[in-house]
Amino acid sequence: MSLNLQSDVSLRPYNTFGVDVRARLFAEAHDESEVREALRLALQHGVPLRVIGGGSNLLLTRNVEALVVRMASRGIRILEDDGDRVLVEAEAGEPWHPFVQWSLAQGLVGLENLSLIPGTVGAAPIQNIGAYGVELKDLFAGLTALDRQSGELRDFCLDDCSFAYRDSLFKQQPDRWLILRVRFALSRTASLLLDYGPVRQRLHEQGIEVPTPQDVSQAICAIRSEKLPDPAKLGNAGSFFKNPLIAATQAEGIRAEYPDLVSYPAADGQVKLAAGWLIERAGWKGYRDGDAGVHRLQALVLVNYGRASGEELLNLARRIQADIHERFGVSLEIEPNVF
């Protein structure tokens, strides 16, 4: 199959903010050979190669003078199965939530807390996606990536990836590694993680005392649907800011002034603050400036009410960052990739 290269393509359908910018060149890559062809064509046309998945962790602020390649490879396979531990490999273009649902349908446990996260399998390690007490690294068993510099394939193990909170080697070196396939170590008998956020409470309200992985997934889908807007109806990229990590002494200083501060213990004596609480406490929840706004139900989510530009959304984010720093002395870091 040969790459279908297009010129001057709107990226509005390919980013969940629904920002209307244009790519100089655009193509969809369905396999490794098409990825390699895209690299050759980018070099031939003298432009960078930009890779996107579901466009759910992306804020586009201007036209993209590059060859934008959307990963569209598909395929899920079981590589090993010893009756308990099951090694599963998925192609980078597989949509994340359907992949989670596939794993549950096979009787596999581990990914249920990561239900309803938008995006693709290949993008998941870049952010080290996480939700409700589980991060991708907890189930990670390896990946295969193409080295753009040498053209060689490399297999990565957990220790190679420098996973951290919403971070990885692949986020730190975006112009070198192009993820093709990701492997996960799942189980048929692993215990469920229920004590983060309102998961257990939701299950109790439903009269479920001994939940299955499917029960947990459905509860989390319901919780996320209530908290987060559907990008098909209201443009957004989910959580726009990372929860900041600060010293415990600084957290106590903030708590002295704001006793209702929402925080969680973190590693190395640090404390993780709830960015959504900071933004809401500062009065930004439900704020709107033209078509750029802060969601009325979840202050952590910036939204596009229709025709907001990426620059307008970024300017709003910067205003929020400046206000939070002035009020609390805390720096908020933007989670999506900004181009």
> Has 166 been annotated as catalytic?
yes
Tell me, rounded to whole angstroms, the distance of Cα 257 from its chain centroid. 33
Query: Do 110 and 187 touch, CB atoms closer than 8 A?
Result: yes
C-alpha–C-alpha distance, residues 88 and 81, integer Å: 9
Residues 6+ apart with CB under 8 A from 86: 78, 80, 106, 108, 185, 186, 187, 188
Q: Are 121 and 128 in contact (CB under 8 A)?
A: no
Structure-token pair, residue 180: 């093709």
Cα 56 → chain centroid? 7
DSSP string, 154-179: EEE-GGGS--BTTB-HHHHSTTTEEE
At 305, list the tokens: 């009410």
Paired strand residues for 26: 6, 68
- CA-based nearest residue to 138, from 98, 83, 196: 196
Q: At what angle do helices 96-105 and 213-227 cross, to 10 degrees?
A: 160
Task: Give the containing element (helix H, strand E) for 238.
Answer: strand 235-239
335 is catalytic: yes
d(CA 230, CA 76): 26
Would you call 189 helix, strand, or coil by DSSP?
coil
Pairing of strands 85-91, 22-29: unpaired
Number of other residues whose CB lies within 10 A of the CB of residue 208: 15
Catalytic, out of 56, 103, 168, 239 = 239
Considering 70, 166, 181, 183, which one is annotated as catalytic? 166
Question: Does the annotation count 36 as an active-site position?
Answer: no
Cα-based torsion angle of the residue sequence 63, 2, 121, 233 in order, rounded to the nearest 10 degrees: 50
Instruction: List the catalytic residues.
Output: 166, 239, 335
